Chains A and B, each alone.
Chain A
């Protein structure tokens, strides 16, 4: 086996050195009746070319050469080549959690830069080294708010990504939290009146997403005021991190939970992505996940270390702030490289391109469908309502090699034939025009479902 650096002669010599007659003697602790005496039922050992062929064949069975208008929490942005060059360096790829600071300063300094960038983008004081993804990050943020406030009421906007809400419910159900959902107004934003009525002295936090699942930017200052009046915390979840290049950061929030996939991370059929939690400094001790801090060595030189680990499971065990151990360090590095490449000006320019493409898409596609929540500030996603059921429309689009918007009926039946369309800097005018052409040619007798 080509990954194993030993000859049979070396194995035999090592067994002699150990003082056993055969390798099976080293497995004698396994009771005989439980030893596997057959080969595993898995494919035979393949040559490298066969492995590559296997996956190329799989890749061919996926969509290829299609225009896509899908977003909904997983965004297609250009990924500068430099990112993969950096993250494929073995010193980053094949190291582990930087427990030994003296020989992991590279990872530690990169995380420190990541934490700083997240603070700069979100307007928060502190950020952790990453969480699994945006959905689990939002759930962890809710639990954090429960610990901070000592309350157990949780209010979640229905405009938060439906799958984030599902994850949040899974996490919350055994913690004794009461989670209720707050609807949205005809403008696509959370219903502030309903929110105000729902927030009580028992409310630990209000969780909203902005831009929300419909692409609409929530009125964060107004929501914060309502939450803070009752001393509840405001958690803002951000699924589209690129928006922060041009959208006002949610500085009124107490906790921000972000999905950083848009920062140079491949779609990769849903993962790995990169969550991160940022917060006001006063909540530091309740922050889950790893944190890197600056300090000095015995000679006074600057260095970085994992710090405040007394919050974590390996020290606190069942009293830890979270059970999280491994996070998404390499993906956070991708985001760090991405943000270093785009920098101060680029992130704004990139966000402006996204905003412009979505504006063009809304105007163009909106001519042949109903643009919902028109007039409310949005980033790069639009909800279109069509005469034709989205399933049927998408089938017609596929004939032109276009993957249309995500049908919303499953989560928002009240919106009828609505679908969620996304345009990024990679979406071209021609692609939007082509999709508009298909929308325009809707069969006259299209039957509403």
Chain B
């Protein structure tokens, strides 16, 4: 009989079915109760005239218990860090401490209006100041803005800083160098800042080929966007040479800080030649990913880029009071209204305070330890395309499994049956059939061993029972979805079902037609 692995981590159990809230709605049900109006009720038709809304939006009508059950049931269909290891490479799915959530909801913090007088916002401003100071020492940079709302937004801001600096010297330059191993946001960002992209082919170790770089960099090069450690989890040992080559031609080194979890407390980008970089508070600093945001993407830079930071910047007056400085003639402008995702600043600072210098260093060490432990225990069954030392993540390929027509995406789906969220599949692009695994520091040895056991069993299944892997997952509420039809005939919203009558007959029931979903 073909081998079928034993899923030690999970046992199937029941989950509740749940329709869309719209489908559960019944006219007249309410989930709210407003306080009585203490002023005369306005005559909307008279006040608004033509601008009054004529028909009500079709929103659900449900009671509170139904709403709680609706969303609770939906939640049980999700996998989450709180349930187990979530080794999505490059996303740093670490534990999201609950004290972060608690302090972000304190009344004076959560209810602070962004335009309330600065004298009555000193608490918020002190949080921002302390977080900025911490992040500056962690990165070894000189100045920082917390305004960008996410990593890609930080990239945009960072490249705008580089552009503004070049412009101040008379020429914005034309190109941005990006290694072929980079995240897709890098080229998309460079393009949105008005630059042409020059692709840099990785060397045999998956890193930057310094000699090739030296030939490409010229007076048109505005900057290089480099992820360090790279997307294959390797530290660029030649990083300072890379910086030197760029600087010699007047170009800047931008560091994508997506992988900062490998560096905090052990080395600082500012010390190894980086001019400007972004951080992801939702990766390195434990703010929750929330199903896809909110993020926060602070940008740190060297002194010479400081005048170009987005407006406003935080300043301290002679009276010791903090205030926003809007008088920034060389600024790149605003990248977002107000001051950024402040709620994420609170959480990130709470995380830093909970760790202290010793905790952050230990965190980095454990993240690297975990990745190397996985690497050691899986490298005999999965192909390691780049044997260079791994930092916080390890990238395998499906080369050995592909012989049996089992691809990285299949192994990922089968991992779901073993009770894990899949790793990142098919990225970085320089590794055909990549399995990008980032365990983070949040995993115990026990959880890592379960993961290793699952991956090893799947490797055996791929040899002996490949069909089992290619048709996975087998234990989820739904099986693989038809993504082709989803894209070809997009159904992006629910529509009220159309009630249709058949040829009228005396006893014919009403036929409920299929919802008018296609438009």
Contact = CB atoms under 8 A, between A and B. Distances in A.
A449 interface: no
A432 B40 CA distance: 13
Contact of A344 (B57, B76, B77, B123): B57
Given A73-B337, A317-B188, A355-B44, A346 B32 contact: yes
Contacts of A55: 103, 106, 109, 127, 346, 350
Contacts of A430: 38
A30 B422 CA distance: 29
Interface residues of A, number: 201
A15 B365 CA distance: 11
B152 A313 contact: yes
Interface in A100-123: 100-107, 109-113, 115-117, 119-121
A378 to B, nearest CB: 8
B99 interface: yes
B494 A116 contact: yes
A102 B79 CA distance: 9
B305 interface: no
Interface stretch (A225-233, A299-307, A437-445): A299-307
Interface stretch (A151-159, A192-200, A268-276): A268-276
A370 B315 CA distance: 36
Contacts of B95: 3
B108 A132 contact: no
A85 B68 CA distance: 9
Contacts, number: 693
Interface in B63-119: 64, 67-68, 70-83, 86, 88, 91, 93, 95-97, 99, 101-117
Interface residues of B, number: 202
Shortest beta-carbon contacts, A-B, top 3 = A330-B290, A45-B356, A59-B108
Given A63-B120, A170-B333, A356-B41, A18 B372 contact: yes
B493 A126 contact: yes
A127 B42 CA distance: 32
A163 interface: yes
Contacts of A97: 289, 291-292
Nearest to B190: A318
Contacts of B310: 170
A39 B364 CA distance: 13
Given A55-B106, A270-B337, A319 B191 contact: yes
Interface stretch (B213-221, B262-270, B397-405, B460-468): B262-270
Nearest to A30: B267
Contacts of A2: 354
B336 A167 contact: yes
B204 interface: no
B294 A343 contact: no
Contacts of B62: 340, 343
A194 B386 CA distance: 62
A415 interface: no
B31 A103 contact: no
A113 B20 contact: yes
Interface stretch (A88-96, A180-188, A201-209): A88-96
B12 interface: no
B59 A328 contact: no
Nearest to A117: B59
With most chain B CB atoms within 10 A of its CB, the pick from A51, A133, A319, A352 is A51
Considering residues A44, A271, A328, A349, which has the most beta carbons from chain B within 10 angstroms of its beta carbon? Answer: A271
Contact of B30 (A56, A134, A173, A345): A345
A101 B413 CA distance: 10
Interface stretch (B1-9, B245-253, B474-482, B500-508): B474-482
B59 A93 contact: no
B123 to A, nearest CB: 4
Contacts of A292: 492
26 contacts: A5-B447, A15-B369, A43-B356, A45-B356, A55-B346, A60-B123, A63-B120, A94-B82, A96-B86, A104-B78, A104-B291, A106-B78, A116-B494, A170-B334, A171-B192, A246-B53, A248-B51, A314-B183, A326-B294, A327-B292, A328-B292, A331-B290, A344-B25, A352-B42, A360-B39, A394-B117
A1 B477 CA distance: 37
B240 A31 contact: yes
A66 B35 CA distance: 20
Given A29-B389, A135-B336, A323-B189, A328 B294 contact: yes
Contacts of B427: 314
Contacts of B387: none
Contacts of B108: 58-64
